[in-house]
Chains A and B, each alone.
Chain A
Amino acid sequence: MGGGGFTMEPDNPALDDFILTLAEARVPRICLLPTASGDGEAQIRQFHATFGARACEPRHISLFRLGSRPVPLRETLLAQDAIYVGGGSMLGLLAVWRALGLDAILRECWQAGVVLAGLSAGAMCWFEWGLTSSLGAPAPAPGLGFLPGSLSVHMDGEPARLPVYRAAVASGALPDGYAADDGVALLFRGTALQEVVTSRPGRRALRVAAGGERALTPRPLARPDRAGPPPEIAEYRRVRALRDR
Chain B
Amino acid sequence: MEPGNPLLDDYALSLCRRKKPRVCFLPSASGDADHYVVRFYRHFSSDACEPSHVSLFRRDRGPGRVREHLLKQDLIYVGGGSILSLLGVWRAHGIDEDLRAAWRAGVILVGVSAGSLCWFAAGLTAYHHDARPYRGLGLLPHSNAVHYEEEPQRRPAYHAALLSGALPGGYAACDGAALHFVGTELERVVLSRPDARAYRVDAAGGAVVERPLEATYLGERPQIALAAA
Give A contacts to B, CB under 8 Å.
Answer: 35-41, 62-64, 66-67, 70, 88-89, 91-92, 94-96, 98-100, 133-136
Contact = CB atoms under 8 A, between A and B. Distances in A.
Interface in B99-131: 126-128
A36 B93 contact: no
A133 B32 CA distance: 17
Nearest to A133: B59
Nearest to B31: A38
A64 B30 contact: yes
| Residue of B31, B58, B85, B127 most packed against chain A (CB within 10 A) | B31
B128 A37 contact: no
Contacts of A92: 56-57, 89, 92-93
B63 A136 contact: yes
Contacts of B55: 38
A194 B76 CA distance: 49
Interface residues of B, number: 27
B33 A38 contact: yes
A67 B57 CA distance: 19
Contacts, number: 87
Given A67-B127, A135-B63, A136-B64, A95 B92 contact: yes
Interface in B54-106: 55-59, 62-64, 81-82, 84-85, 87-89, 91-93
Contacts of B92: 91-92, 94-95
Contact of A133 (B62, B82, B85, B88): B62
Contact of B59 (A64, A70, A89, A96): A89
B34 interface: yes
A174 B52 CA distance: 36
B58 A99 contact: no
21 contacts: A37-B57, A38-B33, A38-B57, A39-B33, A62-B31, A63-B85, A64-B31, A67-B126, A67-B127, A89-B59, A91-B56, A92-B89, A95-B91, A95-B93, A96-B84, A96-B85, A100-B82, A100-B85, A100-B88, A134-B59, A135-B62
A64 B93 contact: no
A195 to B, nearest CB: 29
A212 B216 CA distance: 70
| Residue of B30, B85, B91 most packed against chain A (CB within 10 A) | B85
A40 B127 contact: no
A37 B58 CA distance: 7
Nearest to B57: A38
A103 to B, nearest CB: 11
Contacts of A91: 56, 89, 92-93
Contacts of A98: 88
Contacts of A89: 56-57, 59
